[in-house]
Amino acid sequence: MALTAVSLLVAIGVHAYRNPDEVAQFRRLSPLVLVSAVVSQTLVQLFMNWALLIPLRRHLHTLGFWEFLLVRSGGLVASSVVPVAGGMAVRLAYLRRRGVTYSDFLWATIVANVFALAAAAILALAASAVMWWVLGQLPLLVFGLAAVIALAAAAAVLVTGAIPRLAANGRLGRRAWVEALAEHALDRSTALGVVGSSLLRHFFNFVTFGLLYGAITRSPQSVLTGGLVYALTSPVRMVNITPGNVGVNEWVVAIVGGALAFDVTVGLVVAIVFRGVSVVAQGLAGLVAWAWVEVAGDA
């Protein structure tokens, strides 16, 4: 994974070296745009926190919002070093001391991720429909990606709903933590809560992409088109292929943006700046959570 990340970063470096004038477009990003992007990304962190906290609170009612945000912040740092496993290890190590079992944590994680994908599908379909209405036509790749995301989300929801039944009859194995999954259920209130939080998370990511694309291209239409790029690429951010998905996110954004008439360089610049403001927002959210826990408790 590290070699893949290095290779992708080298490719970005080579592309930037060959197109210095295009890379210089990042200077069009004013301090106001960057501050707005950081604020938007900070809100993303809050809604991401709610999306995972909702299913967890069914098993741990006393878990505070800011307390959990602080734990998640540590998990995000760990997952940048060890993809997926690092973040899960940090969160699970803390939550188990609070009485959350492995199966409770696994179920909450599955529900949060599956309905985040469902929310991404809703946003992708809605954004594609709006763009089609505005422009009159869209590349087939856009409709294809939106359809794939929607089908993947529908399949994931169906499989998730079947997990408790499969665990109950032993089809998932006979280990104790697997059998404990049979005690869970996919209820409507949890699903709606997670979808709602995830939609708001995706919406503010959509806004951030739109702001960055609009500022660089100096085109009002690019705000909506740039947001569509996020909507179509959001599922990629849910699975880390390299540490922190470094290189992967950037090239996927550039390729999809290219299909929507953006220059590859613009896509790379937007993706890199987006990563930067996201890191700043993660740190800001973590600091706010730490201060809140220290001063006001863990409510």
**For a pLDDT cut of 70, what percent of the chain falls above it?**
84
Q: What is the CA radius of gyration of the chain?
A: 20
What is the extent of the structural domain holding 179? 39-296
Angle in degrees, 0-180, between the axes of helices 248-259 and 221-233, rounded to the nearest 10: 130
Q: Do 232 and 223 form a contact (C-beta atoms < 8 A)?
A: no
Region 43-49: mean pLDDT is: 94
Q: Could you tell me which residues come within 8 angstroms of residue 181 by beta carbon, excluding any fewer than 6 positions away? A: 103, 106, 107, 163, 164, 167, 172
In a domain, 59, yes or no: yes
In a domain, 21, yes or no: no
Q: Do 131 and 225 form a contact (C-beta atoms < 8 A)?
A: yes
What is the token pair recorded at 82? Answer: 């060890």
Return the pLDDT at 77. Answer: 56
Question: How far apart, in whole angstroms, are the C-alpha atoms of residue 47 and residue 99?
Answer: 24
Q: How many residues does the chain have?
A: 299
In a domain, 225, yes or no: yes
The model's confidence at residue 116, banded by pLDDT at 50, 70 and 90, is: very high
Region 47-73: mean pLDDT is: 82
In a domain, 83, yes or no: yes
User: What pTM value is reported for the model?
Assistant: 0.86
**78 has a pLDDT exceeding 70:** no
Question: What pLDDT, in 10s, does the model give residues 236-285?
Answer: 888 777 777 777 888 888 888 888 878 888 888 888 999 999 999 988 99
In a domain, 275, yes or no: yes
Residue with the bigger pLDDT between 67 and 78: it is: 67
The model's confidence at residue 298, banded by pLDDT at 50, 70 and 90, is: low
For residues 148-167, b (16+ Cβ closer than 10 Å) or e, as one string?
A: ebbebbeebbeebeebbeeb
Question: How far apart, in whole angstroms, are the C-alpha atoms of residue 230 and residue 242?
Answer: 19
Question: How far apart, in whole angstroms, are the C-alpha atoms of residue 64 and residue 164?
Answer: 27
Return the pLDDT at 72. Answer: 79
In a domain, 203, yes or no: yes
Structural domains in the chain (count): 1
For residues 223-244, b (16+ Cβ closer than 10 Å) or e, as one string?
A: bbbbbbbbbbbbbbbeebbbbb
In a domain, 26, yes or no: no
The model's confidence at residue 119, banded by pLDDT at 50, 70 and 90, is: very high
- Reported as half-sphere exposure (CB side, CA atoms, 13 A), residue 272 has a value of 17
**197 has a pLDDT exceeding 90:** yes
In a domain, 33, yes or no: no
